[in-house]
Amino acid sequence: MDIKKIREDFPILNRKIRGKTLVYLDNAATTQKPRQVIEALVDFYQNHNANIHRGVHTLSDEATSMVEESRIKTAAFINAPKPETVIFTRNATEAINLVAHSWARKFLKAGDEIVLTEMEHHSNLVPWQMLAAEKQVVLRHIPMTPEGTLDLEAGRKLITAKTKLVSFTAASNALGTLIPVEKIISLAKVAGAKTLVDASQWAPHRALDVVKWDCDFLAFSAHKMLGPTGVGVLYGKEALLEDMDPFLGGGDMISRVQLDRFTPNVLPFKFEAGTPNIADEAAFGQALDYLSAIGLDAIAAHEAALTKKAIETLSALPGVTIYGPKDISQRGGVVSFNVDGLHPHDVGTALDLEGVAVRAGHHCCQPLMNKLKTPGTARASFYIYNTFEEVEALGKALDKAIAFFMKKPAAVR
């Protein structure tokens, strides 16, 4: 990877924040966009803007082709058997809610169990809590070990014949923990349960293969992988999607409508009611091209090196606690930390004064934070354009903040 050349594709990295060059380390929340994606958005609105699937004129044909090309690229990116099994949504949250509404509400009954984990983002907790309240479905949670990994032995006991769905993150957005996806799916299959993988923090960083994993559903978001906001992806096995009812009603999700009834459209349009986020779906294809050209293995290796350096750098500072697995091979490019005596929001604000952007808070993982006995953490997260010099800048900025708040000399000069 030629990081210098890659950085030239991201105009925002030239910004100055309070007179200092931006160090953007909030990639788990959203990534920056390369000029190729930005230019694709501009090109769409300048040259191809039209509604899709329903027009017969040239612009509509062009716009339709651009969106469907992105669907084909998405299917190839995750090795989906057919592009028709790729549903475009607004985000991963909507994708998970789609499964909760259209599959779980139709097929689950009172007393059935859904197994989640203690590491889940609220997007993979709240939809199932809403379902449990409505349908009297029982929720179980695979516990997290003190090391920040999943207790697979406990999971083996929790996943039983009563389990109808195992829904879990492939990588923790709060700790960076990489989950043994295939092992959990194997446990679910033995019990006859369906699986949903939240790949929001996996798909941007490492290769995935839905055929190899043999997952039933998979969700992720474009904006976390160089793509525009407002685009999510739901993959589902074709037979399951065919059996599900539409999520929303309206235009484009029908093949025929009469005053008293309707016939749903074929996949994937059955789940894509109304005018979609056309320009952003079209531009998402450019993001996938960009990542594929670099290679997911190279991206994962680069992030692992940055993460190792960040842990070493922050561990050398006084009063810093780092959360998550100590084994680098078990974690992605996320380093969550706290400083003794300081609220994570104060840490995040102090780092911003030095031009370093990190996340601070509970990261939409309040149950996990409760388990850690902290209201939140500061979180640095890395991507393809980050450098070792930026990790050093993070360390120096944090050291300066600790010295200011603790009224002690800085350890790093």
Task: Verify that 74 and 107 share a domain, yes or no.
Answer: yes
413 in a structural domain: no
Task: Verify that 247 and 302 share a domain, yes or no.
Answer: no
Q: What is the CATH number of the domain that holds 201?
A: 3.40.640.10
The encoded tokens of residue 352 equal: 């911003």
Exposed/middle/buried for 74, CB within 10 Å: 0-12, 13-18, 19+? buried
Q: What integer pLDDT is reported at residue 54 of this predicted model?
A: 81
Task: Verify that 227 and 372 share a domain, yes or no.
Answer: no
Task: Verify that 9 and 83 share a domain, yes or no.
Answer: no
Task: Verify that 158 and 183 share a domain, yes or no.
Answer: yes
411 in a structural domain: no
Q: What integer pLDDT is reported at residue 55 of this predicted model?
A: 83
Catalytic residue among 364, 365, 380, 394: 364
Single out the residue in 257, 292, 327 at which a domain terminates: 292
Task: Verify that 268 and 339 share a domain, yes or no.
Answer: no
Q: What integer pLDDT is reported at residue 172 of this predicted model?
A: 98
Q: What integer pLDDT is reported at residue 407 of this predicted model?
A: 73
Task: Verify that 223 and 330 share a domain, yes or no.
Answer: no
87 in a structural domain: yes
Single out the residue in 292, 314, 340 at which a domain terminates: 292
Task: Verify that 274 and 347 share a domain, yes or no.
Answer: no
Q: What integer pLDDT is reported at residue 413 of this predicted model?
A: 41
Q: Which segments of the chain have a pLDDT < 70?
A: 408-413
Task: Verify that 164 and 261 share a domain, yes or no.
Answer: yes
Q: What is the CATH number of the domain that holds 326?
A: 3.90.1150.10
Sheet-wide strand order for 334-339: 320-323, 334-339, 377-381, 359-361
Task: Verify that 227 and 366 share a domain, yes or no.
Answer: no
Is 365 one of the catalytic residues?
no
In the 8-state DSSP scheme, what is residue 329?
G
| Rounded (5°) CA angle 400-401-407 | 85
Task: Verify that 107 and 250 share a domain, yes or no.
Answer: yes
Q: What integer pLDDT is reported at residue 202 of this predicted model?
A: 98
Number of domains in the chain: 2
Domain residue limits at 101: 37-292
Of the candidates 333, 325, 321, 331, the residue with the CA atom closest to the CA atom of residue 377: 321
Task: Verify that 260 and 309 share a domain, yes or no.
Answer: no
412 in a structural domain: no
392 in a structural domain: yes
